[in-house]
Copies of this chain bind each other. A is one copy, B any other.
Amino acid sequence: MTAETSHGSRHRVRCTSTRLSDGRELLYFDDTEPYVSGSAVRELHDVRDLGEAETAGECRYDPLTGDWVTIAAHRMGRTFRPPADECPLCPTGRGTVPSEVPADDYDVVVFENRFPSFSERQPDGTAAGLVDDDPLWPRRPAVGRCEVVCFTSHHEGRFADLTPSRARTVIDVWAERTSALSRLPGVEQVFVFENRGREIGVTLGHPHGQIYAYPFVTPRTEWLLQLATDHRERTGGSLLRDVLDAERRAGTRVVVEGEHWTAFVPAAARWPVEVHLAPHRDVPDLPALTDPERDELALVYLDLMARLDRVYRTDTGPVRLPYIAAWHQAPVRAGRDLGRLHLQVTSVLRAPGKLKYLAGSESAMGAFINDTTPERIADLLRSAAPDPRGRVAG
């Protein structure tokens, strides 16, 4: 299946869909002619004998927190730091063993995770029920989907090294996948994110992100929507919009301000490095962004990613920051009016070689201690501008 999508007059992305040998879906997104991947060049098939993907999992309700905890025991055996020439995210044509991507090259590629926490494929007969027949502990199948998004075929790259045009393709892919996964039966929220760095357990160095389609509204979002509802009842306002307006008004923690986007360190930042990025217009999710908003996002996002790698420096040069870049989107059905789109980037690195750990206070009690101030984080990020004149989008 091949389809072309176009946003505005400038940016065209061709999508080609195929299947891996264990039945998982793989989607090539090509943005530059002649197209390098998929059927337009030569068709490659996944020749690996993977057997059937293990995807059975369940969610259990934790009555002490109100959260759904996902039990995905099949993930215990997942790939752990393979050598570079066996990278499963490089094109098969480039490594020594067949990878997850049966192509000679690609622009951006998306495929279902081989070790998914959530999957459409659940064993027959698994349905909602109770753990030990006790009403305290509802359980349900871990229905949903987990996808991997490879930002580039270049193993050694970073998101920050992408061209603005390729970054724009990734944004379109995030938006397209959010739309597609939102339509899957049982999916309640779509989460687009990038984990980067061994320090946070990333086992594959190849630049990639992930997308989780959850069968529930995540705990953080559930709670945020509750607080936003309280805020609207109390003040009549939208909590996330009011926070953005207040940060722009105060200005003390603003890092980048464009025509459509503002990046700021939140007033109560809890991580050694934390920055939020929000659109100026009220939108619930990535698919709702207009072309001009996406164009500027590509530039602002690249700017922000480049700053992250200039926050710390050692004798041998700048330190590649481990980070989690998390897109908070409104759930598929609930809270569309209050769940305003925003990106939250956090890092555990508090100094070169020194990590912030979640110990007793944070992990057990949820009480975060930050060893720096949000204003100092903003200073660090402002002085880490990739362009010395501080120019960004717009």
A104 close to B (CB within 8 Å): no
A364 close to B (CB within 8 Å): yes
- Beta-carbon contact of B195 and A67 below 8 Å: no
Q: How many copies does the complex hold?
A: 2
A314 close to B (CB within 8 Å): no
- Beta-carbon contact of B376 and A364 below 8 Å: no
- Beta-carbon contact of B63 and A231 below 8 Å: yes
Contact residues of A: prevailing secondary structure: mixed
Known interface pairs A80-B354, A223-B66. Does A191 touch B365 (Cβ–Cβ under 8 Å)?
Answer: yes
- Beta-carbon contact of A224 and B65 below 8 Å: yes
Q: Which residues of B contact A76 (CB under 8 A)?
A: 350-351, 371-372
Q: Which residues of B contact A131 (CB under 8 A)?
A: 250, 267-268
Interface residues of A in 123-144 (CB under 8 A from B): 131-132, 134, 136-137
- Beta-carbon contact of A371 and B250 below 8 Å: no
A266 close to B (CB within 8 Å): yes
B-contacting 9-mer, from A95-103, A178-186, A212-220: A212-220
Q: Which residues of B contact A288 (CB under 8 A)?
A: none
- Separation of A75 and B371 alpha carbons in the complex (Å): 6
A70 close to B (CB within 8 Å): yes
Identify the closest chain B residue to A326 (Cβ). B364
Q: Which residues of B contact A218 (CB under 8 A)?
A: 361, 365-367
Interface residues of A in 145-204 (CB under 8 A from B): 191, 193-195, 200-202
- Beta-carbon contact of B269 and A227 below 8 Å: no
- Separation of A240 and B62 alpha carbons in the complex (Å): 12
Q: How large is the interface on A (under 10, 10 to 19, 20 to 34, 35 or more residues)?
A: 35 or more
- Separation of A103 and B218 alpha carbons in the complex (Å): 51
Q: Which residues of B contact A376 (CB under 8 A)?
A: 73
- Beta-carbon contact of A371 and B201 below 8 Å: no
Q: Which residues of B contact A356 (CB under 8 A)?
A: 201
- Beta-carbon contact of B201 and A357 below 8 Å: yes
- Beta-carbon contact of B223 and A359 below 8 Å: no
A117 close to B (CB within 8 Å): yes
Identify the closest chain B residue to A356 (Cβ). B201
A358 close to B (CB within 8 Å): yes
A370 close to B (CB within 8 Å): yes
- Separation of A70 and B367 alpha carbons in the complex (Å): 8
Known interface pairs A191-B365, A243-B64. Does A69 touch B117 (Cβ–Cβ under 8 Å)?
Answer: no
Min CB–CB distance A72 → chain B (angstroms): 5
A residues contacting B by CB (< 8 A) are: 60-73, 75-76, 80, 117, 131-132, 134, 136-137, 191, 193-195, 200-202, 210, 212, 214, 216, 218-221, 223-224, 227, 231, 239-240, 242-243, 246, 249-250, 252, 266-270, 324, 326, 328, 344, 346, 350-351, 354-361, 363-374, 376
Closest 6 CB pairs of A and B: A201-B357, A219-B366, A326-B364, A193-B360, A62-B268, A218-B365
- Contacts A63-B243, A219-B366 given; 16 further ones with Cβ under 8 A? A64-B243, A67-B268, A70-B369, A117-B361, A131-B250, A132-B250, A134-B250, A212-B361, A218-B365, A218-B367, A219-B365, A220-B367, A324-B360, A326-B364, A346-B363, A346-B364
